[in-house]
Structure formats: C-alpha cells, structure tokens
Amino acid sequence: MAEVISSVKRSASDSVVAVPKPGCQFASDNAAGFCPEAWQSLERANSGHVPSYGDDQWTSRASDLIREVFEHSAEVFFVFNGTAANSLALAAMCQSYHAILCHELAHIETDECGAPQFFSNGTKILLASGERGKLAPSAITQAVERRRDIHYPKPRVVSVTQATELSTVYSIDELSAIHDACQRHGLRLHMDGARFANAVASLDVLPRQITWEAGVDVLCLGGTKNGMGMGEAIIFFKKELADEFAYRCKQAGQLASKMRYLTAPWVGLLESGAWLTNARRANAAAARLEVGLAAIPGVEVLGKRDANAVFARLPDTLAASLRAKGWKFYDFIGSGGCRFMCSWATTDADVDALLADSK
C-alpha cells in the first residue's frame, strides 16, 4: 500500500512529469483511494488491543474533532457509508406515517435503493423541484399544502444535499429561506453532506454557518469522497433526535466492532486540515476542467459549477472516443450530459490529459 500512497500526486507542481494513463479519475470521487493523512492515521491506529464498539480513544478523539470543527456540542455517530447515514438519520427524524421532502435528483431518492423508506418502516419520499439541483422553498410549501388530510403521509422532514448532485451549493441565504419554510410548516431539516467539505470550500464559510446556524438539525458528513477509504459521520445538532440512535445503528449492521478503523482516518483528516485542503483541490481540478472543456468546439458545459463535478454535453463521437481511450465518466446522473467528477487525488496532469484527448 506504501507504493499506492507514494505514487499519489500531492500538488499541481509535481504533476507535470508524466502524462497519466486514462482511467477512473473522472468517474466518481469514490474511485480515489485514501489520502495520505487519513491513511497514516489508520496505520497509527493499527497497534495493540483497544476497546471495541467505539469505546476507544480514536473514536472519542474523532467525535471531539467534529464537535470542534462545527463549534457545537453535537451527538456524533460513525457508520460505513452514506446510504446508511442518510437512511438511519432520516428514520430517527420520522415516524413511519411521515413524509420526507427532497429534490427530485436527491441521492436519497435516486441512489439508495429505497433504504430511507426501508429503515423508517415505510416513510414516503415526496419529490419537489428547484433550479440547478436545489430545492426551492416555494416547492416545500406547495408540497405541504397539496394535501393536509389524514389520508396522506404527513410531511415531517426536508432533506437537502450540500453540495448538490449537480455540483451546485446552497448559499447561507438559500439555506435560511429553506429553514424558514421548515419552521412555517413544522418540518425538521436534514442535510446529506456526502460532499459537505466541497461546499465549505466553495462557499468559503465556516461549517457552522451552513449547518446548525442555518437551522440544520442533522448532518450526514461524508468521509469517503473526502479522502477516506470508507465511513460517514452522522451529526445530531438537535441532540434529542439522537435518542436511542446507537440501537438503530447496531440493528442495521452499522456498528463497527473494530470502530477505531472507521474513526482513526477521521482524526487524520480533521487534525491535519486535509478535509478542507482535499476539497479545495477537488474543486480546483473541476474549475480547471470546466475552463478547458468550455474551450473545446462542440462541447457545451451545462450549468454553473460550484463544487467538484463538471457536467457537459459532448458530441457523441467525442464521448465515444474518450471512452475508447479508456476514460471513465458517467452520463446517467443529473439532468443529462456527461459528469466529470474530480477528487482530492485528481491532478492538473489528469485534467490536462483528458483535455488533450478531447481535442
């Protein structure tokens, strides 16, 4: 594994030597490996016997670091992936007869195989619209007012994704307008933060400003796409919602017995500040790619990008020739076009090689 880490390019300046081989660089940010900070911390944790199921110092340190970063005495839990984090958090915020409102492109609707409904014993997801992947406050009100009778599931939670599935971000003002709508209608606010760090980097704000200060009750904070091998944190700013949550995690098969291996990488990411530098690097790679793609005749960049993905419409022949050369990217996500997703490990040379193959 040492080779893997040492072969990872850390900065723009050391990335000009070799042209990288086409591959998964742009398929998803979960195609990247561990970042060195998370990996080294994992390695440090790999010594001796320590208490299991989260009663260890790595887990308490990771929880404390999260509370420091968010400047809040939140309740923190660690699970293996984002589907579990979202589903269990939402289940804790709902009864089975409730409904969750989210954008029609939300991961909880399109990419979690019904897990939010499953773990909440049947809670319904209601879809609402909004420009650029962002839920519009008026759409929340419409969804609530459409039906108020006993025969329809009662809206209880709004879920927003930050950064969104379309690589945009909610500003502080946009979040507070959503929070206003939530308050008017008695709704709780959940945030899917699989790419939360990319949103913080893009907005250049403090984590608290786009979470609890903006009315977010529960945040699912992504570790995997940010530079870990696996693992997400569930952060309850409204602590009463965390009541008995540990049992939910255990029942769902999400309580790691060797918890230190889920939490030590968090310590490395958070102590070093890599959580933010990784996100900045991924966003910067996407910015470079966006400029480069926009300059290629026949390529149309779709929408304004805030975070680490670029959506673009490519001529069919170009998309096919890139794929034939070995490049991987998706074209079924979001609102049409190809998605090029950058990660902490995407180098300028990766971006430039893709652009060179596009010309």
Binding residues (CB under 6 A) for ligand PLP: these are 81-83, 107, 161, 165, 192, 194, 224-225
**Distances in Å between the alpha carbon of 202 and those of 75, 245, 284, 315?**
26, 32, 9, 29
Burial of 244 per CB tally in 10 Å (0-12, 13-18, 19+): exposed
Name the minimum Å distance from CB 117 to ligand PLP: 15
Separation between Cα atoms, residue 323 and residue 312, nearest integer Å: 15
Name the minimum Å distance from CB 308 to ligand PLP: 11
CB nearer to ligand PLP: give 40 or 110: 110
Three-class secondary structure of residue 338 per DSSP = strand
Three-class secondary structure of residue 235 per DSSP = strand
CB nearer to ligand PLP: give 260 or 339: 339
Name the minimum Å distance from CB 56 to ligand PLP: 23
Separation between Cα atoms, residue 287 and residue 279, nearest integer Å: 12
**Do the Cβ atoms of 315 and 196 come closer than 8 Å?**
no
Separation between Cα atoms, residue 118 and residue 357, nearest integer Å: 44
Name the minimum Å distance from CB 195 to ligand PLP: 6
Name the minimum Å distance from CB 28 to ligand PLP: 7
Name the minimum Å distance from CB 46 to ligand PLP: 23
CB nearer to ligand PLP: give 179 or 225: 225
CB nearer to ligand PLP: give 45 or 194: 194
CB nearer to ligand PLP: give 20 or 229: 229
- Residue corresponding to tokens 């959503």: 178
Residue in 59, 58, 55 with CA at minimum distance from that of residue 78: 59
Cα 337 versus chain centre, distance? 21
CB nearer to ligand PLP: give 65 or 194: 194
Separation between Cα atoms, residue 31 and residue 78, nearest integer Å: 21
**Distances in Å between the alpha carbon of 119 and those of 80, 216, 244, 245, 248?**
15, 21, 15, 12, 9
Q: Report, in angstroms and rounded to the nearest whole number, the Rg of the chain calculated over CA atoms.
A: 20
Name the minimum Å distance from CB 116 to ligand PLP: 11
CB nearer to ligand PLP: give 83 or 283: 83
CB nearer to ligand PLP: give 41 or 161: 161
Separation between Cα atoms, residue 125 and residue 99, nearest integer Å: 6
Name the minimum Å distance from CB 267 to ligand PLP: 20
CB nearer to ligand PLP: give 224 or 263: 224
Separation between Cα atoms, residue 276 and residue 272, nearest integer Å: 9
Three-class secondary structure of residue 309 per DSSP = strand
Which residue minimizes CB distance to ligand PLP?
82
Cα 341 versus chain centre, distance? 12
- Residue corresponding to tokens 């403090």: 206
Name the minimum Å distance from CB 82 to ligand PLP: 2
Three-class secondary structure of residue 165 per DSSP = coil
